[in-house]
Amino acid sequence: MYQFSYADIQTDSVADAKDRERQLLTRSIDLLVAARAVGTQSMEAIEALHFLNRVWTSLVEDLGSPENALPKELRANLISIGLWLLREAEDVRQGRSDNFDGLIEVSQIIRDGIQ
């Protein structure tokens, strides 16, 4: 029988969480790319913007939690980026913008920065 230390389990949990975050951001990016191809008034756009909203609302909430282990300055920067993404997505949804490129690029940068 194998025995694992708490540190090993915690490390695995952190790695698993980061992997899930990368997967969610990748899915969001894929949906945004598909939406960009067919336009802001499409079902693809609605799905992509809704998914982005759910992902970033959850991430911002987690980043705002005192239990989050990331450094405060990094958390604050990521919250600011998340709020921008949420505002920009709402502008696209409302027809005030068609900035899928910005949403995609920022999401890719964040996803690629998760280590």
3-state SS track over the chain: CCCCCHHHHHHHHHHHHHHHHHHHHHHHHHHHHHHHHHCCCCHHHHHHHHHHHHHHHHHHHHHCCCCCCCCHHHHHHHHHHHHHHHHHHHHHHCCCCCCHHHHHHHHHHHHHHCC
Q: What angle (nearest 5°) sits at the alpha carbon of residue 101, between those of residues 89 and 104?
A: 70
| pLDDT at residue number 1 | 43
Per-residue pLDDT tens digits of the chain, which is 115 residues long: 445 444 444 455 878 889 999 999 999 999 999 999 999 999 999 999 999 999 999 999 999 999 998 999 999 999 999 999 999 999 999 999 999 999 999 999 999 999 8
Alpha-carbon torsion (51, 55, 61, 63), positive or negative: negative
Cβ atoms of 74 and 10 within 8 Å: the answer is no
| pLDDT at residue number 12 | 57
pTM of the full structure: 0.87
Query: Among 55, 76, 81, 51, which residue's Cα sits nearest to residue 65?
Result: 76
| pLDDT at residue number 115 | 80
